[in-house]
Structure 1
Amino acid sequence: MEVTRRGFLKLSGASLFALASGLGFDPQIAQAQGFSLRIEGTTKIPSICHFCSGGCGLLLHIKDGKLVYLDGDPDNPVNSGALCPKGASLGHVANSKDRVTKPRYRAPGSSEWQDISWDEAINKIASKIKEVREATWMDTEEIGGKTYAVNRAEGIAVLGSAEVDNEESYLIKKLSELIGTPYNEHQARI
Structure 2
Amino acid sequence: MKTWLDAWPVFRQLTGPDPLGRGAAARSRATENVVARTATADRVVQSVCPYCSVGCAQRVYVKDEQVVQIEGDPDSPVNRGRLCPKGSASKSLVTSPTRVTKVRYRRPYGTEWEDLDLDTAMEMIADRVLDARRRYWQDECDGKRVNRTMGIASLGGAALDNEENYLMKKLYSAMGAIQIENQARI
TM-score range, shorter chain: 0.7 to 0.9
* Cα distance in structure 2, aligned partners of 1:167 and 1:68: 29
Name stretches of at least 5 consecutive residues in structure 1 with no aligned partner.
1-10, 17-29
* Cα distance in structure 1, aligned partners of 2:125 and 2:154: 13
TM-score, length-scaled by structure 1: 0.75
Equivalent in the alignment of 1:7: none
Percent identical among aligned pairs is 41
Equivalent in the alignment of 1:24: none
Q: As a proportion of its length, which structure holds more helix?
A: 1
* Cα distance in structure 2, aligned partners of 1:65 and 1:163: 25
Equivalent in the alignment of 1:50: 50
Displacement of 1:34: 5.7
Equivalent in the alignment of 1:37: 36
Aligned runs of 1:104-183 on 2, under 5 Å?
A: 104-142=104-142, 147-183=143-179
Displacement of 1:166: 3.7
Matched position secondary structure for 2:177? coil
In the comparison of the two structures, how many residue pairs are matched? 157
Higher relative contact order (CA 8 A, sep 6+): 2
Q: Rg larger in 1 or in 2?
A: 1
Equivalent in the alignment of 1:81: 81
* Cα distance in structure 2, aligned partners of 1:182 and 1:41: 47
Aligned in 2, Cα 1:83/1:34: closer, same or farther, shift over 3 Å? same
Aligned in 2, Cα 1:169/1:69: closer, same or farther, shift over 3 Å? same
TM-score, length-scaled by structure 2: 0.76
Aligned in 2, Cα 1:171/1:119: closer, same or farther, shift over 3 Å? same
